[in-house]
């Protein structure tokens, strides 16, 4: 076992403790970026002037009437930028545009003594436009060949030969929408300048180092002249990985020009109309199965709706391409990816980062094809799970394939899948207007950043003379419990009680050049760095303690604040006494820790390599009930088994799994982004601008029974204390909800109905799906390109394969690439 993953005898990691700021959250005492405004004197407030066109040239801007509004101090325009007028890492996002690219695009910003004055003045700014054609949908972009960025291609095997070999070949299309982050705290920044002209920015950002870099870029400064701090975020979900940079730059620019602190906080409508969302996708696919229902070939073209600029669309698409097979072995694969440019907000990272969009394609394929093959969807999925020696289409071996099988069996066993299937069949036979269904779906999600350079983390650990410990690390806290885990890691590595350790806010002048808290890698990267720093300090303390005990330094032990030694009769030392002695012996009591993920290699030009440290696995079983008159439904029960390795903090991890699943279920079933696609004057306007029009999951959408278990015996070698990432993978467990709804809709029609279900699967969408099944016209919009002569249902279409059969199959020696 590696030193990174090995745990001491009595670790603090693994204890189920509450979130470190839980009491502050529920009592309202937790401070967020905008809470600092009332503690700051003479703050100016920023408000944008937004475009009323989806695409137009700005031919004139008149600000005299706005400047006359009492309280207005300044209006920021492109002429005020001392550096580069661009807030994007791809240099395609002008901070003050001369060509507006989406409805709501900020043209200039008003600074005033009060928020009301800034808002009123923004309404008095006169803008002249020369309207230009606007592309609003990904299908329009495809027709117009409106693309941007890279076009990745991933290929393995011989797809043409696979289709020739296949007994059943189907093809179809699938288009689905994005998702609004709807974090509770909207985008916010507070900037001020000190007497030396240095900029200090409080920002609600997942990537303080990149915020620092972009602000310096806009202001024409070096990075050491800009400091960014993130206290905490009221949610991020990827929406604050790239998008905060421009808002922070506006605040910083305003502060430099006025000499006063500047606050920029978007209200909900501004946030929804100005900031990016999850990418919607369009896919065209062709798939081949053999006579036993095994996947033989997949050919697909997936096109993401990126909005007006690239942002993170290239890595999002790359991850989508790399996750298109989800948890299934497909020997022959050819996938092309494209990025559509449309006149919408620039879409950005969202929990899963393209993985959900890619995985959704194969899950939709299996859900639509299973009835046409005459096989139970659960059996079809289980038959195609990865087995020993098999690799992903990009060439990385799936070394923990058996965990998928164990999670599948545990979830189905705990959920009583087979018995409930029989109960549902009986229920459906006696209820004409109400149908139930149960579905099971797996998740295999790669953990690491697509860009290898981002897989590094830093930390600064300070031990004071009295034994108290302060840690800084490069990760940001957005409610996911990263700080809680880092406190547990530090306490474990130092061998002190949790109460001994405190954590400082994330700042770029404490830990530089940090990666974004994203890609589910926060605990892996920063935990490795914190552990490294603590171990440096421990190694310096060992000789000091060895003098007291008269032993070899290697025999010194640190356990819950007590220092002892093997083979010594001397009294144990309290931790605080040892740190005091170390100080007087001039032993350094601080350390900068560092961690880099080893074993990664990736060639983006060929889309081959091993880009992920490991895969996180999970399985969800979901039962739903659908009303045949309205399409309304309820989620009756959910059973989840998820692989988090040896959990650093089980209470936090279970909460992440529950939250991720619910957020995924919202995307699957409720949350629908609607832009005006008409040719009228409001073309391009986002119609779903608030909670009143954008439906979020609430208590009424929660499963009546919700059971979450962590996969046992799941130690992860080579990760901090044997843990695994948990942030993103649970979102994809919600595929089971949509697949259950598909099966319930099909139950209103004859056996073998293949249902095409929209995403989100709103009650309206479910109603039209069940209506097509009921009318006998359902075919899932799937084209049967090839079928066996006189096709019969695929044999063995029983609901579950016995665990003994799977284990026996796994124990048989099999060549690489063969099926279990």
Query: Any idea which residues carry the catalytic annotation?
Result: 728
Helix (H) or strand (E) holding 444: strand 434-447
CB-CB contact of 714 with 644 (8 Å) = yes
Separation between Cα atoms, residue 236 and residue 518, nearest integer Å? 10
CB-CB contact of 534 with 461 (8 Å) = yes
H helix runs in 97-169, sequence order: 115-124, 138-144, 159-165
CB-CB contact of 99 with 42 (8 Å) = no
CB-CB contact of 58 with 99 (8 Å) = yes
Sheet strands side by side (includes 705-710): 434-447, 614-627, 633-642, 705-710
Separation between Cα atoms, residue 764 and residue 758, nearest integer Å? 10
Sheet strands side by side (includes 556-559): 556-559, 562-565, 573-574
Nearest by Cα to 228 from 195, 205, 247: 205
DSSP conformation class of 39 = G
For 738, the token pair is 């949509």
CB-CB contact of 515 with 473 (8 Å) = no
Helix (H) or strand (E) holding 368: helix 355-373
Nearest by Cα to 90 from 315, 373, 404: 315
CB-CB contact of 308 with 344 (8 Å) = yes
For 313, the token pair is 């669309």
DSSP conformation class of 385 = B
H helix runs in 21-158, sequence order: 22-27, 64-67, 115-124, 138-144
Separation between Cα atoms, residue 538 and residue 593, nearest integer Å? 13
Separation between Cα atoms, residue 483 and residue 349, nearest integer Å? 22
């Amino acid at each position: 076992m590696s030193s990174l993953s090995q745990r001491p005898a009595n670790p603090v990691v693994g204890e189920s403790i509450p979130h470190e700021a839980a009491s502050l959250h529920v009592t309202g005492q937790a401070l967020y970026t905008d809470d600092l405004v009332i503690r700051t004197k003479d703050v100016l407030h920023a408000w944008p002037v937004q475009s009323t066109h989806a695409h137009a040239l700005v031919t004139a801007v008149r600000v005299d009437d706005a400047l006359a509004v009492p309280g207005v101090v300044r209006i920021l325009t492109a002429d005020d930028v001392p550096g580069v007028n661009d807030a994007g890492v791809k240099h395609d996002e002008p901070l003050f545009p001369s060509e507006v690219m989406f409805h709501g695009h900020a043209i200039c910003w008003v600074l005033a003594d009060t928020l009301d004055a800034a808002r009123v003045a923004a309404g008095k700014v006169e803008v002249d436009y020369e309207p230009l054609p606007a592309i609003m949908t990904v299908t329009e972009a495809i027709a117009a060949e409106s693309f941007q960025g890279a076009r990745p291609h991933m290929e393995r095997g011989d797809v043409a030969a696979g289709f020739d070999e296949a007994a059943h070949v189907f093809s179809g299309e699938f288009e689905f929408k994005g998702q609004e982050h709807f974090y509770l705290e909207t985008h916010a920044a507070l900037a001020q300048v000190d007497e030396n002209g240095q900029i200090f920015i409080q920002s609600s950002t997942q990537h303080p180092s990149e915020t620092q870099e972009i602000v310096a870029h806009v202001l024409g400064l070096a990075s050491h002249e800009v400091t960014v701090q993130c206290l905490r975020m009221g949610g991020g979900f990827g929406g604050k990985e790239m998008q905060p940079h421009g808002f922070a730059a506006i605040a910083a620019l305003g502060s430099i020009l006025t000499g006063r602190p500047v606050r920029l906080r978007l209200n909900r409508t501004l946030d929804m109309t100005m900031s990016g969302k999850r990418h919607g996708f369009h896919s065209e696919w062709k798939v081949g199965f053999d006579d036993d229902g095994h996947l033989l070939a997949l050919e697909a073209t997936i096109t993401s709706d990126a909005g007006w600029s690239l942002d993170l669309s290239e890595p999002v698409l790359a991850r989508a391409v790399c996750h298109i097979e989800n948890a299934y072995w497909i020997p022959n694969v050819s996938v092309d990816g494209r990025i559509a440019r449309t006149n919408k907000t620039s879409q950005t990272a969202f929990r899963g980062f393209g993985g959900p969009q890619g995985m959704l394609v194969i899950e939709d394929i299996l859900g639509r094809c299973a009835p046409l093959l005459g096989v139970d969807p659960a059996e079809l999925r289980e038959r195609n799970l990865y087995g020993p020696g098999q690799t992903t289409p990009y060439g990385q071996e799936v070394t923990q394939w058996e965990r998928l099988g164990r999670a599948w069996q545990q979830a189905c066993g705990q959920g009583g899948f087979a018995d409930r299937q029989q109960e549902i069949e009986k229920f459906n036979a006696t209820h004409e207007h109400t149908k139930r269904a149960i579905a099971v779906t797996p998740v295999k999600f790669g953990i690491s950043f697509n860009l290898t350079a981002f897989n590094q983390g830093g930390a600064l650990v300070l031990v004071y003379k009295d034994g108290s410990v302060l840690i800084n690390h490069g990760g940001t806290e957005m409610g996911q419990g990263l700080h809680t885990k880092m406190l547990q890691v530090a306490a474990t590595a130092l061998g002190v009680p949790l109460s001994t350790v405190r954590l400082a806010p994330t700042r770029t002048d404490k830990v530089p050049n940090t990666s974004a808290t994203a890609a589910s890698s926060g605990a892996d990267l920063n935990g490795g760095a914190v552990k490294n720093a603590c171990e440096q300090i421990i190694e310096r303390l060992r000789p000091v303690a060895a003098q007291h005990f008269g032993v070899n330094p290697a025999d010194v032990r640190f356990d819950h604040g007590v220092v002892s030694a093997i083979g010594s009769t001397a009294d144990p030392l309290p931790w605080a006494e040892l740190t005091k002695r170390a100080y007087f012996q001039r032993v350094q009591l601080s350390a900068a820790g560092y961690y880099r993920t080893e074993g990664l290699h990736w060639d983006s030009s060929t889309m081959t390599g091993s880009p992920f440290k490991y895969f996180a696995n999970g399985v969800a079983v979901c039962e739903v009930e659908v009303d045949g008159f309205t399409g309304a439904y309820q989620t009756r029960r959910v059973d989840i088994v998820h692989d988090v390795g040896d959990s650093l903090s089980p209470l936090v991890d279970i909460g992440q799994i529950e939250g991720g699943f619910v957020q995924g279920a919202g995307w699957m079933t409720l949350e629908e982004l609607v832009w005006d696609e008409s040719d009228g004057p409001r073309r391009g306007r986002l119609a779903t601008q608030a909670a009143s029009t954008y439906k979020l999951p609430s208590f009424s959408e929660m499963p009546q029974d919700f059971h979450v278990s962590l996969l046992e015996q799941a130690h992860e070698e080579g990760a901090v204390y044997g843990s695994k990432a948990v942030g993103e993978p649970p979102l994809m467990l919600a595929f089971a909800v949509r697949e259950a709804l598909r099966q319930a809709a099909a139950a209103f029609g004859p056996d073998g109905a293949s249902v095409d279900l929209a995403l989100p699967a709103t009650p309206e969408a479910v109603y039209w799906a069940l209506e097509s099944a009921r009318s006998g016209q359902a075919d899932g919009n799937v084209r049967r390109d090839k079928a066996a002569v006189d096709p019969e249902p695929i044999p063995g279409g029983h609901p579950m394969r016995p665990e003994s059969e799977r284990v026996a199959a796994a124990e048989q020696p099999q060549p690489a690439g063969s099926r279990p």
